[in-house]
Homo-oligomer: A and B are copies of this chain.
Amino acid sequence: MKSSTTTIEVTAAERYAFLDITEDLQRAIKDSGVTDGAAIAFCAHTTCALLINEWEDGAMADFRRRMTEMVPHEGVYYAHDDFEVRTQNMHEDERANGHAHVKSMLLSATSHAIPVVAGAPAFGTWQRLIFLEMDEPKDRTVTFHVFGD
């Protein structure tokens, strides 16, 4: 039984950018030496997400459009952004990102558990591991924990 935990840093170019991090997952698996087991992908943030879906610009644009219609980042009141009222967790670079917290809770896409077969994620033909930034861009950490034989 082997296991290893690695982290990568990702930074999106802009809000709502998607980043294909499948190769980072593949590399974490290769480096662990695990051929049969599983991998956990975990996003250590509260305003971005990890998706498993097809890397096709149209599909990602469709999702972004529907998502931002459902949870707009403008024109809606967010108590999280009401700095006159709010008292908890206020810090220096506090930004108006209440919409991104709501999106993040709605998606519930902080972690995925992925079988590993023959030294690679057991993905279907079109599956890719995709990081989605929903806040203003900043440095983000994604953690991979790989375990197995």
Contacts and interface: CB of A to CB of B under 8 A. Distances in A.
Number of copies of this chain that the complex holds:
3
A11 interface: no
Interface of A: 1, 3, 5, 36-38, 40, 42, 44-46, 49, 51-59, 61-63, 66-67, 70-71, 78-82, 85-86, 88-89, 98, 101-102, 104-117, 122-124, 126-127, 141, 143-145, 147-149
Nearest to A122: B143
Nearest to A86: B58
Most B CB within 10 A of own CB, among A82, A106, A108, A117: A108
Contact of A53 (B3, B44, B104, B144): B104
Contacts of A55: 88-89
